[in-house]
Structure 1
């Protein structure tokens, strides 16, 4: 299939991820127009065959599919607003960070300008864009997804439409993304601890990866407990995790670490135990998270 048979695509935003998206479209033979606030970022893509549009209106007018990869929904609106007259009838796909409410506002703005809309998320690093196992998911107009599915699949072989609600990708992105910072901070704390003993952080990687594999293996079990509301399997109980809280504090003292970031987790465990979940599965924390902490709730040793 020649480039003339491929859907023309405009990519708005050429940071590391936006450039990777544009590169994948070019690699697959799609006529690709690019725009960025800093024009020089387009040069590597132009050398590969992209067309650089100096004005956003020209970029929008170049094709039926606009893929925006700016930092936030607000940035996307700010970038596209000057081209408002050219937006009607075109399909907009946003691949940026933001909340579900932000996605809903973005959808309302796009629909108000006569556009068709999909919101999406790339669940990998820029270097993985275009790979067969790279995951992207989308929420929004199913007709838009069906029309451009083969084009969007160029960005990753594992391409999923979550449903017609425009905020679904943002919902899953924020829901899944909540695991990232705690996991990284845990690794950084471990790295600080082994470095305090004169060991290299690199020696942790093999064991940390295995730990993540174990967590991955139990996620389906935990998800089933949550969906059924049955937390009676106490093999990994709230009380077991609560007993380990003291070990976090001891490690902090011994290695000279700031372990204050554990305090909210310890407080959550205590709230769960106080609510009668002490002997229940750790997944019962979901029920506590569904309710705000009582005003003036007492804190244990970690909060003193």
Structure 2
């Protein structure tokens, strides 16, 4: 993507993702200043025209838009706390990964210093940043987002604004990664079970892709069920599906495999059945997941 936009941008943090973000801004024509705590990163960016700042404050003062991308909010707090004065008059966007509570705390700090602040989350691998397939979430004051929307499209179009609660980007991030890592855990366990039964992983993979092909429709239906709290289970009810989980659990136990994830799944399903959701859809488990 190419954007004719000359607003100067600063990127703080040059891990793999930070470098991808800075590279996308450069590709879009933004004068880009970069800084990293250790000065041995970013040589390729400098070769492409980025300016390496000698300090974080120097980097901040060079940009109208300041993007920070560090390992977590402990790291970003250490960098940003001394820079409140330098950040005045600029838009600060934190794309570090952390929990919604930390995002809201960072927003409160920014508000206390009268700073324009957005929180965000990058939902794609580094190789996708800057392409039309890149999904990047932003949350905070709409007026602040509107100031920098054009520049943010350099990272991915559309630049997805979620709302004015600064914790929303992190909340979406956590929910999506919850699904991803749960699915990845199930995927690896499926291959382990297959291997224990003498099945080659390459032979199983095409059939697992058949199941993966069903997921978009399942995701859409589950979202509707959870929103409406109507769990119609005539096609495949929870009691029937939990019996299948029990069969998998016993197969895995018989082969000496770790069953932690399966035990947790079955325990949640059993609680939902005990609460009267046996005839309902699998989605009804959501009603017993809040343990407060």
TM-score, normalising length from structure 2? 0.93
User: Which aligned pairs between 1:148-159 and structure 2 lie closer than 5 A?
Assistant: 148-159=148-159
Name the residue aligned to 1:107.
107
Instruction: Render the CA deviation track for 1:95-132: whole Å, top value 9, x for unaligned.
Output: 12111111100101122223101111111101000111
Instruction: Render the CA deviation track for 1:162-200: whole Å, top value 9, x for unaligned.
Output: 111111111111122211221111111122223335554
Name the residue aligned to 2:253.
253
Please state how far the C-alpha of 1:285 moved relative to its aligned partner.
0.8
- Which runs of no fewer than 5 residues in structure 2 stay unpaired? none
Name the residue aligned to 1:162.
162
Name the residue aligned to 2:31.
31
Q: Secondary structure at the match of 2:138?
A: strand
Cα separation, partners in 2 of 1:80 and 1:224, compared to 1, 3 Å? same
Please state how far the C-alpha of 1:291 moved relative to its aligned partner.
4.1
Name the residue aligned to 2:273.
273
Please state how far the C-alpha of 1:84 moved relative to its aligned partner.
2.9
Of stretches 222-231 and 265-274 in structure 1, the one that deviates more from structure 2 is 222-231
Instruction: Render the CA deviation track for 1:24-48: whole Å, top value 9, x for unaligned.
Output: 0111111000111111112121111
- Which runs of no fewer than 5 residues in structure 1 stay unpaired? 293-304
Q: Is the 8 A contact 1:142 1:163 kept in 2?
A: yes
Name the residue aligned to 1:67.
67
TM-align CA RMSD: 1.9
Please state how far the C-alpha of 1:70 moved relative to its aligned partner.
0.6
Cα separation, partners in 2 of 1:228 and 1:64, compared to 1, 3 Å? same
Task: State the alpha-carbon separation in 1 of the partners of residues 278 and 21 from structure 2.
Answer: 47
Q: Is the 8 A contact 1:10 1:59 kept in 2?
A: yes
Please state how far the C-alpha of 1:287 moved relative to its aligned partner.
1.0
User: Which aligned pairs between 1:206-217 and structure 2 lie closer than 5 A?
Assistant: 206-217=206-217
Cα separation, partners in 2 of 1:120 and 1:204, compared to 1, 3 Å? farther
Q: Which has the higher contact order (CA 8 A, sep 6+)?
A: 2
Of stretches 6-15 and 188-197 in structure 1, the one that deviates more from structure 2 is 188-197
Q: Is the 8 A contact 1:118 1:139 kept in 2?
A: yes
Cα separation, partners in 2 of 1:86 and 1:273, compared to 1, 3 Å? same
Task: State the alpha-carbon separation in 2 of the partners of residues 222 and 169 from structure 1.
Answer: 21
Please state how far the C-alpha of 1:10 moved relative to its aligned partner.
0.3
Q: Is the 8 A contact 2:14 2:35 kept in 1?
A: yes
Please state how far the C-alpha of 1:218 moved relative to its aligned partner.
1.9
Task: State the alpha-carbon separation in 2 of the partners of residues 125 and 5 from structure 1.
Answer: 25
Instruction: Render the CA deviation track for 1:237-278: whole Å, top value 9, x for unaligned.
Output: 110221012222232134331112211111111100000000
Task: State the alpha-carbon separation in 2 of the partners of residues 153 and 248 from structure 1.
Answer: 45
Name the residue aligned to 1:93.
93
Task: State the alpha-carbon separation in 2 of the partners of residues 107 and 140 from structure 1.
Answer: 8
